[in-house]
Amino acid sequence: MTLPTNSDAGRENFRTSVIQLDRPGDPSVFGEQTRAEAAQIIARYPAGQSRSALLPLLHLVQSEQGYVTSDGIAFCADILDITKAQVSAVVTFYTMYKRSPTGEYLVSVCTNTLCGMLGGDDIFAALGQTLGVGDNQTTEDGTITLEHAECLAACDYAPIVTVNYEFFDNQTVASAHKLVNALRGGERPMPTRGAPLCSFKQIERQIAGFHTAETLAPDANTSGVPTEIGVHLAVERGESAPSYAVERTDARTAEASAARAASQPTSAHDAPLETSASDEQHPQDSGGAAEPEPGKGT
């Protein structure tokens, strides 16, 4: 039996790629506001469980410095009263904590099996060549960090590329080139699903749990054909789940049911269209009428 040698992996030994702790780290580079925000993060968790705040705290320091520096580690250790070794152990465990300066845009190409075989591997190779960088490296102008990603839970839109974690669906080598060229040219193309692009630091702030009405992007697109294909097909085929009656306990919902929009997909109980249950003039016996009803005009 022949066993492969280490060099068979044909890559840098990932096990030695630990964080650069070139100097002790200075927590005081983070100002009063960061301390106040750290306190807000800790307050999300039960009293006495401040260590739960470590993951969001690391996103917070990363949002200020673009990666987790020895200062960020020292700051988290200081705030939570744990050791820097404890913090470093966590930093090195998770992929999203970057260990070197990250570009304004983190471009992640899904190279897990499904996306990779549908074109993701070609996209990753092509972008690496165009940008002149390898995995987890940043272009000289500091705009783009390229990485390969594992499955991003969007396989029905394969191949997937994300920019600062916003979805660009169904990519090709050509569309991915166009995307990075636009980014390098100072543009911010709209993601297929997700909010308008911001910088890597800004998105890290959101991941740390700091949102504004604007960054929550309440009207941004969330869906696409694959997401809705099953419900649309069910309408087309006149199929639905078995029905059940909803007991109304609240006038507010009954009123609302009368005001609902016209083109809704199927539902658990949209079958009794001919009965009083679906009659919007009689919301009091509405039964299942608060359900969306396909093709019903108002």
Partner 1 sequence: MPLTPVLTKRFGTDQPWKIENYERLDGYTGLRKALGMPPDDLIALVKDSNLRGRGGAGFPAGMKWQFIPQGDGKPHYVVVNADEGEPGTCRDLPLMMNDPHSMIEGIIIACYAVRAEWAFVYIRGEAVHAIRRVTAAVEEARAKGYLGSDILGSGFNCDITIHNGAGAYICGEETALLDSLEGKRGQPRLKPPFPATNGLYDAPTVVNNVGTLASVPYIVLGGADWFKEMGPAGSPGPCVYSLSGRVQNPGQYEAPMGSTLRELLELAGGMSRGKDLKFWTPGGSSTPMFSAKHLDVALDFDSAVAAGSMNGTSALMIFDQDDCVVRAVKKWCDFYLHESCGKCTPCREGTYWYVGIYQRLEAGGGTIEDIATLLDLSDNILGRSFCALGDGAVSPVTSSIQLFREEYLAHVEGDGCPFPGARALVGAH
Residues 141-180 that bind ligand FES (CB under 6 A): 151-152, 154-155, 158, 160
Min CB(128)–ligand FES separation in Å = 18
Binding residues for partner 1 restricted to 23-52, rule: CB under 8 A: 44-46, 49, 51-52
Site track for partner 1 across 61-80, x = CB under 8 A = -------------------x
Angle between helices 84-91 and 54-65 (to 10 degrees): 80
107 binding ligand FES? (CB under 6 A)? no
- Give the nearer residue to ligand FES in terms of CB position, either 115 or 163: 115
Three-state SS for 182? helix
Stretch that binds partner 1, among 20-28, 113-121, 173-181, 276-284 (CB under 8 A): 113-121
112 binding ligand FES? (CB under 6 A)? yes
115 binding ligand FES? (CB under 6 A)? yes
58 binding partner 1? (CB under 8 A)? yes
Indicate which single residue of 31, 185, 186, 218 sits in contact with partner 1 (rule: CB under 8 A). Answer: 218
217 binding ligand FES? (CB under 6 A)? no
Q: In the structure encoding, which two tokens stand for residue 112, read together?
A: 């897990």
Per the DSSP assignment, residues forming a β-bridge with 168 are 161
Min CB(151)–ligand FES separation in Å = 3
Indicate which single residue of 59, 64, 74, 287 sits in contact with partner 1 (rule: CB under 8 A). Answer: 59
Cα three-residue angle 288-293-296, rounded to 5 degrees: 125
Strands 161-163 and 105-110: antiparallel
Q: Which amino acid is at 285?
A: D
13 vs 31: CA distance, rounded Å: 37
Stretch that binds ligand FES, among 5-13, 97-105, 107-115, 253-261 (CB under 6 A): 107-115
CA 264 to chain centre: 27
296 vs 264: CA distance, rounded Å: 8
CA-to-CA dists, residue 289 to 151, 244, 252, 275, angstroms: 40, 11, 14, 10
Angle between helices 32-42 and 54-65 (to 10 degrees): 150
Strands 105-110 and 144-149: parallel
241 binding partner 1? (CB under 8 A)? yes
- Give the nearer residue to partner 1 in terms of CB position, either 212 or 281: 212
114 binding ligand FES? (CB under 6 A)? yes
211 binding partner 1? (CB under 8 A)? yes
289 vs 254: CA distance, rounded Å: 9
Burial class (CB in 10 A: 0-12, 13-18, 19+), 175: middle
Instruction: Please provide the distance, in angstroms rounded to a whole number, between the alpha carbons at the two ends of the chain.
Output: 73
152 binding partner 1? (CB under 8 A)? yes
- Give the nearer residue to partner 1 in terms of CB position, either 65 or 206: 206
Binding residues for partner 1 restricted to 163-192, rule: CB under 8 A: 164-167
Residues that bind ligand FES (CB under 6 A): 110, 112, 114-115, 151-152, 154-155, 158, 160
